[in-house]
């Protein structure tokens, strides 16, 4: 957690108490500057920062060569959080008078707050040396920022010593223990970090940052319940994005996406301009199949961070998941231009190319991916499938063989190899590969059907019959396995059984043809309904149901048309039929 500078962190030189010092009789301009300076000091004493800023701005405009004006204005600007402007004024003050202790310390504090820690450390060290020369020491809050800058520049042990010095000044506080624990955590000294965070929470159980930090330490130590600590931190600080964002990301990284989502959603509401919060939430949405919402967030992220290759890749993936691969292509191409070594980007771009039927481009991307990961079974497999789509068995087979060798537990590569070997009449090898695949993954009706066909070609009739019966069991609505089984049964002399299989196949083909006719008629009816031709649409919907009375979509569309005619009872009857068909496991169309 970053500390904001409090009033006591800002230092003003002693000259402010009495105005500017003059080495000679002042001019009218100098007198005006002196008056404005005194008025600025008076406004500052009343905590009227706006007036103080205006008066000190007048001083530096009237007398730009006077160091006190720049130093005072810089200090006020830093107090207001106007870091860049404040730093410019303080640097001007030190350029005029390098020995100005107040400007030097204020500039160190501003550097620390803006992340310029190396510069801050140099100025803090100088201020500390000068304080020790006066037998004094830096204020506690200054020591805390000094310690944080030391830690940021890799000087953890020195940072811990300064934090302890600050604690000695102020006495033990929960915040000090939390700060000290954070330093031990940076040193990966988990036992001491846990001890400090625990002490902070014993002193102040409601200190949300300590719960957050303790969660990370417990995670590193692989003990306790870090998720509980992050959850408590979010409960205690529901309006602190600086707590919610790291806690939400930690929950997501721990596999707790359902808990992370509401936390990150609140962080995004609190800081709508934070691309870090939007990106973290988008990744959670993407993992939980909320792809539309993820994609909208990712678009905002890449708009804010056009060179964020990871965000571009995830946006491209999301668009491809939504079957909008044409939109995905430029984002994935930009990601590769930013990071040509990204394996994921090449793979996702290849998948998008395949979705828009640009197979040659997909092959090119997968070949690039293979150079990056020559031992990746997935890349070999994807490249083999892409070659298969080009009807290039000669190139596809070696890639799939490599994929199978690299991952013997995978069932996909041997399945596609079995198809290709069958295609090139290498039937023994085809049967062996299909057997391997089905042994690893038996729920593959098409695989059993293909294996039955290969066994038939090898004249292994009992094996063929067994494989085809498994195919029929898994694909009860397909006619091809029945026809193949009929051929096997004929060769085995089982003519009656063969006749029954042919009849079943014919019935299935007829049902399939009727379903296609019903779909065509329903689509025609929908078009007519869209044109306002309700009567003609009803004719088409009834035609569809004549082809296939179990086609639920036709019932639903007929209900809409009947509603247009005011026949609400008939319409509800059609909807009821659609719901009944769905309950029976028929057509998946859903009734409203």
| Domains of the chain, each with CATH number or no CATH | 1-171 (1.25.40.10), 521-592 (1.25.40.10)
How many angstroms separate the CA atoms of 396 and 369, rounded?
16
H-assigned helices in 441-476 = 445-457, 461-474
How many angstroms separate the CA atoms of 503 and 486, rounded?
10
For the chain, 592 residues long, the average pLDDT of each consecutive 10-residue run is 43 44 62 89 91 93 90 92 93 90 89 93 92 89 92 94 91 91 95 96 97 97 96 97 97 96 97 96 96 97 96 97 96 98 97 97 98 97 97 97 97 97 96 97 96 97 97 94 95 94 92 91 92 92 92 92 92 91 60 34
**H helices, E strands: number in the chain:** 31, 0
Helix (H, G, I), strand (E, B) or coil at 529: helix
Residues 6+ apart with CB under 8 A from 60: 66, 69, 70, 73, 89, 92
- Looking at residue 373, what is its pLDDT? 97
How many angstroms separate the CA atoms of 134 and 101, rounded?
12
How many angstroms separate the CA atoms of 437 and 407, rounded?
12
With contact defined as beta carbons under 8 Å apart, do 400 and 420 qualify? yes
How many angstroms separate the CA atoms of 248 and 212, rounded?
10
With contact defined as beta carbons under 8 Å apart, do 325 and 356 qualify? yes
How many angstroms separate the CA atoms of 372 and 386, rounded?
18
- Looking at residue 61, what is its pLDDT? 94
């Amino acid at each position: 957690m970053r500390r904001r500078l409090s009033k006591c962190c800002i230092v003003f030189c002693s000259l402010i108490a009495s105005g500017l010092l003059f080495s000679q009789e002042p001019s009218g301009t100098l007198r005006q500057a002196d008056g404005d300076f005194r008025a600025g000091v008076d406004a500052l004493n009343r905590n009227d920062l706006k007036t103080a800023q205006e008066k000190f701005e007048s001083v530096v405009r009237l007398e730009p060569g006077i160091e006190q004006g720049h130093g005072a204005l810089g200090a006020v600007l830093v107090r207001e959080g106007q870091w860049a402007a404040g730093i410019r004024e303080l640097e001007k003050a030190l350029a005029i008078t390098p020995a100005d202790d107040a400007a030097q310390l204020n500039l160190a504090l501003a550097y620390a707050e803006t992340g310029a820690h190396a510069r801050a450390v140099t100025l803090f060290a100088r201020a500390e040396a000068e304080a020790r020369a006066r037998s004094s020491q830096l204020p506690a809050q200054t020591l805390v920022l000094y310690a944080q800058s030391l830690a940021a520049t890799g000087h953890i042990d020195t940072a811990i010593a300064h934090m302890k010095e600050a604690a000695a000044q102020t006495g033990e506080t929960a915040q000090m223990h939390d700060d000290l624990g954070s330093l031990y955590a940076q040193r990966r000294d988990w036992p001491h970090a846990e001890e400090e965070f625990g002490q902070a929470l014993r002193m102040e159980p409601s200190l949300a940052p300590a719960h957050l930090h303790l969660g990370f330490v417990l995670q590193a130590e692989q003990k306790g319940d870090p998720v509980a600590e992050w959850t408590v931190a979010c409960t205690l600080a529901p309006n602190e994005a600086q707590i919610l964002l790291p806690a939400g990301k930690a929950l997501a990284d721990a596999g707790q996406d359902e808990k992370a989502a509401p936390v990150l959603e609140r962080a995004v509401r609190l800081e709508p301009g934070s691309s870090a919060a939007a990106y973290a939430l988008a990744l959670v949405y993407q993992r939980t199949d909320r792809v539309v919402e993820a994609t909208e967030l990712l678009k905002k992220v890449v708009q804010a961070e056009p060179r964020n290759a990871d965000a571009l890749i995830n946006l491209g993936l999301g668009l491809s998941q939504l079957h909008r691969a044409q939109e995905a292509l430029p984002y994935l191409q930009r990601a590769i231009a930013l990071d040509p070594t990204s394996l994921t980007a090449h793979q996702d771009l290849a998948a998008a190319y395949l979705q828009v039927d640009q197979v040659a481009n997909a092959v090119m991307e997968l070949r690039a991916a293979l150079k990056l990961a020559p031992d990746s079974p997935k890349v070999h497999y994807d490249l083999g499938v892409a070659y298969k789509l080009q009807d290039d068995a000669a190139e596809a087979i070696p890639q799939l063989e490599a994929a199978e060798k690299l991952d013997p537990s995978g069932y996909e590569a041997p399945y596609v190899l079995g198809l290709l070997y069958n295609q090139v009449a290498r039937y023994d090898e085809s049967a062996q590969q299909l057997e391997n695949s089905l042994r690893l993954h038996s729920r593959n009706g098409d695989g059993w059907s293909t294996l039955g066909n290969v066994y038939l070609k090898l004249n292994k009739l009992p094996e063929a019959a067994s494989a085809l019966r498994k195919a029929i069991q898994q694909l009860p609505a397909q006619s091809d396995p029945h026809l193949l089984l009929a051929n096997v049964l004929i060769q085995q002399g089982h003519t009656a059984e063969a006749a029954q299989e042919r009849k079943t196949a014919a019935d299935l083909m007829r049902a399939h043809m009727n379903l296609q006719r019903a779909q065509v008629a329903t689509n025609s009816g929908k078009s007519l309904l869209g044109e306002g031709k309700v009567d003609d649409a009803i004719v088409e919907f009834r035609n569809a149901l004549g082809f296939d009375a179990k086609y639920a979509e036709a019932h639903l569309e007929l209900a809409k048309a009947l509603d247009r005619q005011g026949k609400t009872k008939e319409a509800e009857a059609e909807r009821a039929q659609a719901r009944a068909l769905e309950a029976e496991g028929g057509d998946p169309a859903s009734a409203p």
